[in-house]
Amino acid sequence: MKITSKWIDKYKFRVDDGRHPYFELDVPPKFGGEDTAPTALEMAVMALATCLGTTYKMTADHMHLTIKELEVKAIANKSDDIHLSDIHLTVCVKSQDSKEKLEQALHIAKKNCAVDIIFHQTQISMETKLEIIE
């Protein structure tokens, strides 16, 4: 993996992985930025939610579960302007499969999501729950 983060203006950076269109990160005005894009911290939480969702779907497919809808919601609280204190993830899934199988898929996905593993190595409190959509 090779990532380039290039300074554009003030505190805005353009991030490029060499394979996809670039995206930008910025900070709010109170930190000198213009708030034109997500912050790096917000992007980290987005990566966590997306990784868990992707890994959950892969796990469900491997278990031959039928997923009709899938959404991961993340609420990240800060202890101050720059430090996360806790993250609450809700995996919302619509499926005819049993709750037990859907929970098993979540347990396996959490163990295999690379970003979840990284976050668990920090002191940030994390809670993940399953919500079944009717």
Residue 82 has pLDDT above 90, yes or no: no
- Residue 86 forms beta bridges with which residues? 77, 125
Top-confidence residue, 106 or 81 = 106
In tens, the pLDDT along 25-81 reads 999 999 999 999 999 999 999 999 999 999 999 999 999 999 999 999 999 999 988
pTM for the model:
0.93
Q: How far apart are CA 74 and CA 47, in angstroms?
A: 10
pLDDT at 134: 87
Pair of tokens at residue 17: 């992985």
pLDDT at 104: 98
H helices of 63-95, in order, are none
Pair 111, 128: CB distance under 8 Å: no
Q: How wide is the angle at C-alpha 71 spanned by C-alphas 118 and 97, nearest 5°? A: 105
